[in-house]
């Protein structure tokens, strides 16, 4: 894979559920190391698009290339190169922190010693060494999300997909979570994140705004604000959506 190739390339992606079109002809590219935000109201089709990119949902039509591989042909190979953290919190609540690391490390084909060193290093970085043997279900939401993100990155994927990763936590915890995202991006990991928090959109390199299954805007937050004459992303979003309604 050439270094200048995009991490994600989507051309004319369509997803239909019966008569309902969840994704209408999506076309976009995500560059390597980019933090790419997927914005939209609930039901705009963000999660559907992300699930297709992660290989857990099949597209109706269109061409998707992830990390240089064609999604239709190399679904399982792609899965080794990506990490995923879903809106419905995805660690095992009845396992301890350490057991979750061991399980997902094992599933991602890491060796025993790799798992051990990674677990210790990552927990140390999260300042959660003393929580190693705690049951995940007993931890506060913000910690669980940080853990889930860390575990999604444990096997050092090229791209991580985050589906509304910060749902249901306070702004301060969200801010801390985004620090983790920046750390990952600095190391060259491509981050694809869906959210409906407009303040989070400001943290992204580029955002793609979706409405009713279609892409209605795609650019850097600063440029979008300029283009729509808005003070923040919230205003940008409202202006775009209102214009669509007319």
Residue 155: CB minimum distance to another protein, A: 9
CB closer to another protein, 77 vs 124 = 77
Q: Which is nearer to another protein, 102 or 225 (CB)?
A: 102
Min separation Cβ 75 and another protein, Å: 8
Query: Is the Cβ of residue 37 or residue 55 nearer to another protein in the bound state?
Result: 55
| Minimum CB distance to another protein, residue 14 (Å) | 16
Q: CB-wise, 194 or 211, nearer to another protein?
A: 194
- C-alpha to C-alpha distance for 130 and 246, rounded to whole angstroms: 55
- Give the CA-trace dihedral at 192, 197, 199, 203, to 10 degrees: -10
CA distance 98 to 214: 41
Query: Which residue in this structure is represented by tokens 């290989």?
Result: 55
Nearer to another protein, 17 or 242 (CB): 17
List contacts with another protein (CB under 8 A): 51, 54-58, 75-77, 79-80, 82, 84, 86, 88-95, 99, 102-104, 106-109, 161
Shortest reach from residue 138's CB to another protein, in Å: 12
CB of 206 to another protein, least distance (A): 24
């Amino acid at each position: 894979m050439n270094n200048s190739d995009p991490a994600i390339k989507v051309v004319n992606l369509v997803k239909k559920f019966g008569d309902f079109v969840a994704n209408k002809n999506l076309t976009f590219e995500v560059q390597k190391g980019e933090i790419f935000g997927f914005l939209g109201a609930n039901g705009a089709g963000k999660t559907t698009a992300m699930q297709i990119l992660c290989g857990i949902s099949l597209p109706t039509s269109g061409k998707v290339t992830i990390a240089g591989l064609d999604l239709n042909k190399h679904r399982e190979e792609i899965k080794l190169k990506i990490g995923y953290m879903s809106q419905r919190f995805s660690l095992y609540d009845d396992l301890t922190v350490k057991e979750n690391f061991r399980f997902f490390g094992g599933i991602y084909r890491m060796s025993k010693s790799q798992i051990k060193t990674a677990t210790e290093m990552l927990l140390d970085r999260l300042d959660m060494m003393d929580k190693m043997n705690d049951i995940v279900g007993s931890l506060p939401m913000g910690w669980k999300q940080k853990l889930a993100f860390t575990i999604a990155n444990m096997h050092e994927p090229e791209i991580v997909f985050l589906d509304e990763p910060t749902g249901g936590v306070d702004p301060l915890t969200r801010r801390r979570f985004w620090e983790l995202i920046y750390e990952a991006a600095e190391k060259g990991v491509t981050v694809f994140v869906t959210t409906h928090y407009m303040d989070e959109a400001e943290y992204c390199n580029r955002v793609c705004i979706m409405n009713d299954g279609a892409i209605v805007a795609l650019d850097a937050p600063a440029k979008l604000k300029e283009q729509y004459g808005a003070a923040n992303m919230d205003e940008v979003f409202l202006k775009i959506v209102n214009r669509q309604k007319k």
